Amino acid sequence: MQVTGHSARGKLQTMDALDAHDRVDARRLSPAEKLLQALEVMRAGIRLKRSTLRRQFPEADEDDVDLRLAEWLRSDG
């Protein structure tokens, strides 16, 4: 989606400010805290993928979903 006009410029400036704020926050974190954040994001992504697999394959039981998830985790894509 392409956003144009004055409001887009304002949105981009707001996003840039948020990005700058995120960078400042990231610099304050210890390496251990950064690792914990990365692991939390990874866990969230896996939960989202598991949910997607359940919707794509409603007939699948939990073992099948686990198998499909493991295959996805091992894949390059």
| pLDDT at residue 7, as a whole number | 60
| pLDDT at residue 23, as a whole number | 76
Low-confidence ranges of the chain (pLDDT < 50): 1-5
Residue whose entry in the numeric block shows the structure tokens 């295959």: 71
Exposed, middle or buried, 2 (CB in 10 Å: 0-12/13-18/19+)?
A: exposed
Q: How many CB atoms lie within 10 A of CB 53?
A: 19
pLDDT digits (tens, 9 = 90+) for 34-44: 899 999 999 99
| pLDDT at residue 18, as a whole number | 63
| pLDDT at residue 52, as a whole number | 98
